[in-house]
Amino acid sequence: METLKEIKSKIEMNKADKKHRLLDNAFQLFGTKGFAKTSISDIVNKAGVAKGTFYLYFKNKEDIRDQLVNEKSLELFSNAITDLEKKVLPRFEDRLIFVINHMIEDLNTHPEILTFIDKDLSLGFYSSELSKFFSDEPTGLYALFKEGVESEHLPIENIEITFFTILDLVGSTCYRCMVQKFPTDIETYKPFLFKSIRAILHIG
26-84 pLDDT tens trace: 999 988 888 889 999 999 999 999 999 999 999 999 899 888 877 877 788 888 889 99
pLDDT at 131 over 60: no
3 state SS for the chain: CCCHHHHHHHHHHHHHHHHHHHHHHHHHHHHHCCCCCCCHHHHHHHHCCCHHHHHHHCCCHHHHHHHHHHHHHHHHHHHHHHHHCCCCCCCHHHHHHHHHHHHHHHHHHCCHHHHCCCHHHCCCCCHHHHHHHCCCCCCCHHHHHHHHHHHCCCCCCCHHHHHHHHHHHHHHHHHHHHHCCCCCCHHHHHHHHHHHHHHHHHHC
pLDDT above 80 (res 113):
no
Q: How confident is the model at residue 12 (pLDDT cuts 50, 70, 90)?
A: low
Summarize the confidence of residues 82-90 as an average pLDDT.
92
- Provide the pLDDT for residue 48: 93
pLDDT of 180 over the 80 cut: yes
Reported confidence tier of residue 124, pLDDT bands at 50, 70, 90: very low
- Quickly state the pLDDT bin for 127 (edges 50, 70, 90): very low
% of the chain beyond a pLDDT of 90 = 44
Q: Compute the average pLDDT of residues 146-171.
A: 90
With cut-offs at 50, 70 and 90, classify the pLDDT of residue 108. confident
Split at pLDDT 50, 70, 90, the class of 149 is very high
Question: What is the average per-residue pLDDT within 151-160?
Answer: 92
